[in-house]
Structure 1
Amino acid sequence: MNLSLKDKVVLVTGANGFVGHHVARRLCQEGMRVRALVRRPESRAELDPLGAEVVLGELTDRGALEQAVRGAHFVVHCAATNTPDLAEARRVNAEATATLAEAALAAGCERFVHISTVAAYPLMNASGVVTEAAPLTTEGDAYAVTKADAERVLSAVAARGLRTVVLRPAVVLGVHPTSFWGTRFPQAIAAGQFPLVDGGEPTMGYLHISSLVEAVVRSLGVDEAVGQAFNLLDGHFRWREYTAFFSTGPLPAAAAEQVPGFLSFRGTFSTEKAQRVLGLAPKDTFASSMAEITSAPWQA
């Protein structure tokens, strides 16, 4: 680590969600002064015990964002929406990211860490090794398109002086009521509502939430990370291996053109850059992550 994080003020957006909550907790443990931006007052019950300062505000409210970044040394932008509504997804994922980045630049923030996704790459029927130099997608489902757009608008603000780090995690595994891969999709699979391409043979990357949180900490502290994007994953699985933990019968078949691109991906994601710059060694945690998820109380 090149930079001391203790006593630094960090704004964490989406701090009441799966990723944001784990990030806020770890940054509090690092001795940082965490300012948690959330939408609902009831989020205090989850965040106050961590020692975080809870700030209420909508991600789409420019005034709220400008106030939230005032005096912050860092921003970790975790908030996003997975709505299929393209206009709403663009408003939250892309336009609000631009507004937050502009506010961070104006406030003199030292570093802006943006949680993106490997879904921002064009993955439908793609194969081979995907590195961070690959182009970002311009078509597909609303989440993928608008997360790619968010990176583009962030890059434009970075060109004017904002020091950014972009993290592109694969499927994030872990326990939290709002976790897509630990709660929401398992419920859809159990209900027989999760489509598979070619019987679930396509591949996808995964990482445990602890690996993503570690990447955030290192992105804040390692000088060489500034201006870079990083693929983050611990390993790869086939979709049939993931769905087998939750399915109670056959799952519907789908063509690649009918579902988000990540469900037909047949390649791998390079982690060389994250290992070299951030010192993040992949962990073989698929089995233990799935055991953690399947034993969560809301899966019973």
Structure 2
Amino acid sequence: MKNKKILVTGADGFIGSHLTEKLVEEGYDVRAFVYYNSFNSYGWLDNSIYSKKIEVFAGDIRDPYGVKEAMRGCEIVLHLASLIAIPYSYHSPDTYIDTNIKGTLNVLQAARELGISKVVHTSTSEVYGTAQYVPIDEKHPLQGQSPYSASKIGADQLAMSFYRSFNTPVAIIRPFNTYGPRQSARAVIPTIITQLAAGNKKIKLGSVAPTRDFNYIQDTVSGFIKIMNSELAVGEVINMGSNYEISIGETANTIAEVMGRDVEIETDDIRLRPEKSEVERLWADNSKAKLLLDWEPSFGGINGFKRGLKETVKWFQETDNLKHYKDAVYNI
């Protein structure tokens, strides 16, 4: 693989930037597909220590011609480009269809035409909806409880259809709730950290009862690389989760403990999902990843979660990093 060029779509984002840097660090030849903008910003790659070693292609995942051009000369595509904010999907669902489904189609069609050796498509645990049984394995029914999750179900099914119809070498990675440095403030852990870092003793959250399976960024990245290098992953959907379940309320208290703060939680109505849209429980069965990929989380269990939170808090508390976040604003 290290002699083959790898394209990472969504390389300017949270997971994508960490993955891109790790690939470069390990000696891979990487082309980073970033979202074109008039500021000529490469997102989180702007200040990367590896910036001179990364070939950057600025474009739009919704543009089939640009996507095909970005993929030309590559052997592997790690497809992460996506719209992921659930609240924003409530009032702009059309954008999610264009980006998540049509964007994935563009990658798959170009992969078919160019003879790409492997496409790793990024799914999400949100496609499962509220758990019907736990832990959630890859055979769990899919439930579109938000326009975002519905768009990702569509993208996942499209990816598998290309594998079944055209033998396109597709593997699907399904990360549970990844967290860590650089994560968007639309996610709950940065929301909690930034409010506490601003000195607030009372923080605003939505529902605190739902549970999540948080996966530290290093574990998610290692999962991508394992899937990329495994022939056994082709045609498979593989969960990436810590196999540790914790509620949002308990998460807030754990973060406060790590930061040495007291915390009081205030329910903010605008942060609540519509009742039938809230995913009440997520808990990953990661046995398939262990079996096929020899992957397991390094930050598992409560102790691993606290270690990951310490690293995350450390990053967010640095002034140059915290200035990118607006703790007083609800980020949808």
TM-score, normalising length: structure 1: 0.87
1:130 to 109, 133, 136: 136
Residues 164 and 16 (structure 1), Cα distance of their counterparts in 2 relative to 1, 3 Å cut = same
Query: How far is the alpha carbon of 1:134 from its aligned partner?
Result: 1.6
Aligned to 1:118: 125
Query: How far is the alpha carbon of 1:127 from its aligned partner?
Result: 3.9
Would you say the 8 A contact 1:117–1:170 is kept in 2? yes
Which of 244-253 and 89-98 deviates more? Answer: 244-253
Q: 2:276 and 2:182 mapped to 1: Cα distance? A: 25
Partner amino acid for 2:46? A
Query: How far is the alpha carbon of 1:14 from its aligned partner?
Result: 0.8
- The equivalences for 1:258-297 within 5 A come to 258=275, 260-262=277-279, 264-265=280-281, 268-283=283-298, 284=300, 285-295=304-314, 296=316, 297=318
Q: 1:92 and 1:32 mapped to 2: Cα distance? A: 27
Query: How far is the alpha carbon of 1:187 from its aligned partner?
Result: 4.3
Confirm whether residue 90 of structure 1 aligns to residue 89 of structure 2.
no
Partner amino acid for 1:58? D
Query: How far is the alpha carbon of 1:181 from its aligned partner?
Result: 4.8
Partner amino acid for 1:163? P
Q: 1:130 and 1:50 mapped to 2: Cα distance? A: 41
Query: How far is the alpha carbon of 1:188 from its aligned partner?
Result: 7.0
Q: 2:3 and 2:74 mapped to 1: Cα distance? A: 11
Would you say the 8 A contact 1:9–1:33 is kept in 2? yes
Q: CA RMSD in A?
A: 2.5
Aligned to 1:142: 147
Confirm whether residue 105 of structure 1 aligns to residue 112 of structure 2.
yes
How far does the alpha carbon of each residue in 1:102-154 deviate from its partner, in whole angstroms, 9 at most, with x for none? 1111111100011111111122x6443311012222x3212211111110111
Which of 16-25 and 230-239 deviates more? Answer: 230-239
Runs (4+) of structure 1 moved beyond 6 Å? 188-191, 253-256
Confirm whether residue 164 of structure 1 aligns to residue 170 of structure 2.
yes
Partner of 1:114, secondary structure, is strand
2:15 to 15, 19, 30: 19
Residues 259 and 36 (structure 1), Cα distance of their counterparts in 2 relative to 1, 3 Å cut = farther
- The equivalences for 1:212-251 within 5 A come to 212-234=220-242, 235-244=244-253, 245=255, 248-251=263-266
Where structure 2 has 5 or more consecutive residues not aligned to the other structure, the ranges are: 257-261, 324-332
Aligned to 1:206: 214
How far does the alpha carbon of each residue in 1:247-289 deviate from its partner, in whole angstroms, 9 at most, with x for none? 8432318788537433x11x63211100000111233220011
Residues 274 and 204 (structure 1), Cα distance of their counterparts in 2 relative to 1, 3 Å cut = same
Residues 184 and 87 (structure 1), Cα distance of their counterparts in 2 relative to 1, 3 Å cut = farther
Q: 1:270 and 1:103 mapped to 2: Cα distance? A: 33
Would you say the 8 A contact 2:204–2:268 is kept in 1? no
Would you say the 8 A contact 1:75–1:111 is kept in 2? yes
* Percent identity of equivalent pairs: 21
Would you say the 8 A contact 2:204–2:265 is kept in 1? no
How far does the alpha carbon of each residue in 1:18-63 deviate from its partner, in whole angstroms, 9 at most, with x for none? 1000111111122221010112422163456261100010111111
Where structure 1 has 5 or more consecutive residues not aligned to the other structure, the ranges are: none
